[in-house]
Amino acid sequence: MKGSPIAVAVAMAAAVLSGGALAGGAALAATSQGQHSVAARPQAQPVTRPAAADAATRTAAGHRATARTKTKIITCLNKGRVRPTSYILACGDGSDYLARLHWESWTSGLATATGKFILNTCTPSCAQGKFLTNQVIVVLWRPAAVPHWHGQRQFTEMTIIYTGKRPAHTAQSFTQSLWYPFVR
């Protein structure tokens, strides 16, 4: 399991659950393969300029510029979103989705949230199925350029980790690739 996307997600989940601060954006230690790791970023240095107003102006401008270029998650409606409170996984029928998402972290390389995973059992059919609700941790990772959306980035993988009771015959966690935007 070492070096796998699941190992990365579980390590991230452990940090989120333990309340550990991700100092300087350090989310995970390097894995044996190195391809699924997020390297530690240096700590931000305090602003030592005497003109505090000047620094505040630069910071506000930087936040506006960053908001437009943040890594996003693409929805079923082909919209890029940052920190959505809900997210549909089954675009065709809405039989499974995430709700009440509370984002602990959202960086250009990794995003983590806690919330509820709602899944239709589809037994005996999806129309007659029951919806199960479970507490989960959501980890978005593997950012990539968004095709045909110049300068935009999106998360391409999502790992969902059950934090308590989970549906019968279900693994503790699973990872799925996220879709790409439709080309218009």
Q: What is the largest CA-CA distance in the chain?
A: 69
Q: Against a cut of 0.85, is the pTM above it?
A: no
State yes or no: pLDDT of 45 exceeds 60: no
Query: Within its chain, how far is the Cα of 22 from the centroid?
Result: 15
Distance CA 55, CA 34 (A): 37
For residues 71-90, give the mean pLDDT. 93
Please give the pLDDT value at position 179: 77
Q: Which residue has the higher pLDDT, 137 or 41?
A: 137
Rounded to an integer, what distance in angstroms lies between the CA atom of residue 161 and that of residue 167? 12
Is the per-residue pLDDT at 70 higher than 70? yes
Q: What is the pLDDT of residue 8?
A: 53
Average pLDDT over residues 111-123: 96
- Mean pLDDT computed over 135-162: 93
